[in-house]
Amino acid sequence: MNAIKQSLRDSRTARWIVLLIVSFAMLTAYMFMEILSPLKTMIQNAYGWDNTEWGAVTGAQGYLNVFAGMLILGGIILDKMGIRFTAVASAVVMLVGAAIKYYAIAFIDPSATINIIFAAPKAQVFWAASGFAIFCVGAETAGITVSKILVKWFKGKELALSMGLEMASARLGSALALFGSPRLAEAMNIPTPILISAIVILIGLVLFLIYSVMDAKLDKEEGVEKGDSEEEFKISDLGHIIKNPGFWYISLLCVLFYSAVFPFYKYGPDLMVNKYGVDPSQAGDIPGWLPIGTMLLTPVFGMLYDRKGKGASIMILGAILLIGVHFIYYMPSLTSVSMAYVAVLILGVAFSLVPSAMWPSVPKIVDERYLGSAYALIFFIQNIGLMGIPILVGKVLDINNPGVADKLDAARDMFRSQGLKASEISDKIQAMRLSGELPNYDYTNTWLIFIGLTVLALVLAFGLKFTDKKRGYGLELPNIQQ
């Protein structure tokens, strides 16, 4: 009997139950991650945030993860304390951060300020950013934990496919936010979709608790007594990771790829309103096809990598497609809505290719006992871009549109003095923007940032392929060995 089934992981049913559990948990994280993204126009119209303030909130993903080193700490905790503890703790942190962000949007006066050292930012912006920063500590730690869970249960089996399906679930969470959030905000109010998303995170916490039971059973079957780790973690283990050139290629590719895509969620909906004339209640519809495309295609490309290999080549192709997409969005003359749809569909293909090859390549480059810390370091570097690029884009957008925010503020103050509600103010200001009484934001020069990121990604993708040939990582080889 033992020759047929050595442990719970050898049960296909058990493996896929684990995949379903962790995939839904990541769906909840990514739903909340993008729940504000399609509301940029509404929030600016209703609450008076300028692009720099919007960038400060959406870029908060890296405040604690980068500056406080929480992602590195999360990786160390994962390797030292194990999967079960880290999974549940990360979900609790996500829930706390989500609650703070909801409170900021729902209950804090948009005109109130808060006095902190050297500054007096809007209280609503400060607490929304703080809540999102706390949430992202949990979300990113959950991400590296889930990666290690899938390696634990699927290594030597359907690893790339499992990672592809998990990423597909995360993209579904993003799609639900992009399509649903503006419609809920329009039908009810802006805080409503944030509240609903926070409740879904609570369900994800329960699922992580269920997974912990299965994980404990697997460890008991396999005789693992020190939690989840085969060896005690040592700080010196980080040296084994950072001395590896393949690790740096993967890390830098990750930050460039994701910085060229995830900030698109934050600014793409507003681009559709300002450049293509889309109604704010439908601002997330075109960007919403990006996660849907990746949801469908990432598992397909993951299965292709499992069976055929060509991981480095897949990343090169993804970078080439990303350059083309951002060039389409950059061109001032291309204002057709149909062209915007074409570009986002190509973007979906590109962003399916890249993660389907990138994440399953990490175990080929880094020893399994260092995986938790390696994923944490990669996510740490990724978060530098996910923090910095939204802030940079917002700042450049304000610089390239002088006086626009002031005119919107003047109109908003006028309507506020009339006693109108936030939703009514948003509708009236949007009507004035459509009629030409108030200006829209011009994204043209700002979009050059994304083109630059994708060109650098292509250069690094070729560098990774060269290094793979030199070092023999096996990135071009199939994951499933006969």
Superfamily of domain 15-401+441-471 in the CATH hierarchy: MFS general substrate transporter like domains (1.20.1250.20)
The domain limits of the chain are: 15-401+441-471
pLDDT one-digit tens code per residue, 339-391: 999 999 999 898 888 888 887 888 888 887 777 678 778 878 888 998 899 99
Confidence tier at 234 by pLDDT (50, 70, 90): low
Report the 10 Å Cβ neighbour count for 69.
13
pLDDT band for position 228 (cuts 50, 70, 90): very low
pLDDT at 227 over 60: no
Asked if residue 135 lies in contact with residue 101, where contact means CB atoms within 8 angstroms, the answer is yes
Distance between CA atoms of residues 333 and 134, nearest Å: 41
Listed in sequence order, the residues at least 6 apart from 458 whose beta carbon sits closer than 8 Å to its beta carbon are: 316, 319, 320, 323
With CA atoms as reference, report the closest residue to 413 among 45, 43, 39, 41: 45
Give the pLDDT confidence score for residue 1 in this predicted structure: 38
pLDDT tens for each residue of 422-443: 878 888 888 888 888 988 899 9
Give the per-residue pLDDT at 249.
92
Instruction: Give the integer Cα–Cα distance in Å for 45 and 335.
Output: 23
What's the pLDDT band for 235 if we cut at 50, 70, 90?
A: low
* Residues sharing a CB contact under 8 Å with residue 40, sequence separation 6 or more, in sequence order: 54, 266, 267, 269, 270, 283
For the segment 297-326, the average pLDDT, to the nearest whole number, is 87
Average pLDDT over residues 178-192: 92
262 to 83, 258, 268, 347: CA distances (angstroms): 27, 6, 10, 11
Going by pLDDT thresholds of 50, 70 and 90, the confidence category of residue 253 is: very high
- Residues 268, 36: contact at Cβ < 8 Å? no
Of 419, 307, 288, 309, the closest CA to residue 364 belongs to 309
Q: What angle do CA 468, 473, 479 make, to 5 degrees?
A: 115
Q: Is 400 helix (H, G, I), strand (E, B) or coil?
A: coil
Note the pLDDT of residue 6.
66
Tell me the mean pLDDT in the region 115-120. 73
